[in-house]
Each structure stands twice: as C-alpha cells, then as structure tokens.
A and B are shown apart, each in its own frame.
Chain A
Amino acid sequence: SQKIEQNSEALNIQEGKTATLTCNYTNYSPAYLQWYRQDPGRGPVFLLLIRENEKEKRKERLKVTFDTTLKQSLFHITASQPADSATYLCAPSLTGGGNKLTFGTGTQLKVEL
C-alpha cells in the first residue's frame, strides 16, 4: 500500500538558517506533490505544488525539490523566521482520482531566536 513518511520528530533551528524538511513515499509513483502548512488549531494551508517533470519549484523563501528516483521531496525554507514555526504536511498524489489527497503525518518546525 502507499506509504508517506515525514520525520515525526520536531525540527528546531535558529532564526536565519535554512530549514529542510523531508517527505519520502513508497509503493507508488505520484505525478504531483503538494506541501501544506498547518498552524495549531487551524486547517492546513496550501503552499506549493510540484509536478513529476519539475525538479525544483520556488516561491519567495520556499523551495521544493522532487526526486522521483529517490522517491523523495525536500522542502526548504531559507532565512527562516519564528513566524515560520508550524507543522508542514506533504501530499504526494497520482493523476485523477477525484483530486483525493493522502497526507503525511507532518513535521513540526520550530524557529528559535
């Protein structure tokens, strides 16, 4: 069955550093991969989508890579700020399927001053 793995341990980094979060998947080959941010008590908010034919996608301080050989996506936040502290969820998905998404369990990021 499809499996999505994100590091369950919180990632603590210092303000100004680059945060790197990992999303690994097994037993399928997604055509798309989405990243969401979730703050406590709130619903997830969409950040970025990357397609299988795109190796890298950027949006402001965010960068996502998609390595279909390694079955892995990396999510980078450069020049991190305390306001970036949140849980980040990845959702690798196949084409079609009613746009259903399966999410990883998320990684909590804490940016300290």
Chain B
Amino acid sequence: NAGVTQTPKFRILKIGQSMTLQCTQDMNHNYMYWYRQDPGMGLKLIYYSVGAGITDKGEVPNGYNVSRSTTEDFPLRLELAAPSQTSVYFCASSYFAGTDKPPLHFGNGTRLTVT
C-alpha cells in the first residue's frame, strides 16, 4: 500500500495564480483532512471530509476550497494565491471508528512558496 500520496512535492506560485494540491489514499479511509504547517505554529486544519460528497471547514479555511467526489481523492484548491499561503501542506486520512479516535495517516507534504 502506498498510503497517502501528495503531489507535487514542491511548487512556486506567483501572487494571484491558482493551483490544486492533489491527495489520494489507498486505505479506503472515510475521513480525510488538509493541514498546513508553518514554522513554530504547528499544524492547522484547513478542511476535512467524513466521506465522499461531504466536506467541512476547519480552523483556517479562507482562501481554499476542497471537493471529495471519491473516497480516494481529496484535492485542495488555491484560487488566488497570496504570500500568506506560503506553507507546507499535509493531507491525512483515517478510518471511521465511532466515538473512538483512530490515528491519522499523513502524506509527506507539499511545500508551497508564493512570491
């Protein structure tokens, strides 16, 4: 199993450009998440999804959009890139366990620079 795969690994964008960060998982997990990680700030949740067709905002959703048309894929869209979106983006997934707390499986991130 590949686990959670993110592409691209690195990207440089100009202000105002748009792009889609790709994330796919092969573990048949219901739940998927997008986090961003800035130095000294920890991981911040952008959006999450509890299943195909269902998404919800996290702590820092402004400037981003997501969709979940399949169980496997959870792309993150940046429409008008801004320098404040320079960060490392991590996608994660987990299985549904009712009230229990299954672990998150993370990809290895996309490092995005907006100049």
Q: Is the CB of B103 within 8 A of A100?
A: no
Bound form: Cα–Cα A49–B100 in Å = 10
Nearest A residue to B4, CB-CB: A43
* A33-69, CB < 8 A from B: 34, 36, 41-46, 49
Q: Is the CB of B101 within 8 A of A46?
A: no
Q: Is the CB of B97 within 8 A of A43?
A: no
Interface residues of A, CB < 8 Å — how many? 26
Q: Is the CB of B104 within 8 A of A104?
A: no
Partner of B108, one of A8, A42, A105: A42
* A2-43, CB < 8 A from B: 4, 8, 31-32, 34, 36, 41-43
Q: Given known contacts A98-B50, A100-B48, A105-B41, is B101 in contact with A32 (CB within 8 Å)?
A: yes
Partner of B102, one of A36, A43, A99, A103: A99
Q: Is the CB of A49 within 8 A of B33?
A: no
Q: Is the CB of A98 within 8 A of B31?
A: yes
Q: Is the CB of B33 within 8 A of A100?
A: yes
Q: Report B-chain residues with C-beta under 8 Å of the C-beta of A104.
A: 42
Report if B25 contacts A (CB, 8 A): no
Q: Is the CB of B106 within 8 A of A45?
A: yes
Q: Is the CB of A89 within 8 A of B43?
A: yes
Instruction: Report B81-108 CB contacts with A as 1/0, cut-off 8 Å.
Output: 0000000001010101101111111111
Q: Is the CB of B56 within 8 A of A99?
A: no
Q: Report B-chain residues with C-beta under 8 Å of the C-beta of A96.
A: 99
* B48-97, CB < 8 A from A: 48, 50, 56, 58-59, 90, 92, 94, 96-97
Chain B residues at the A interface, C-beta cutoff of 8 Å: 4, 31, 33, 35, 40-43, 45, 48, 50, 56, 58-59, 90, 92, 94, 96-97, 99-109
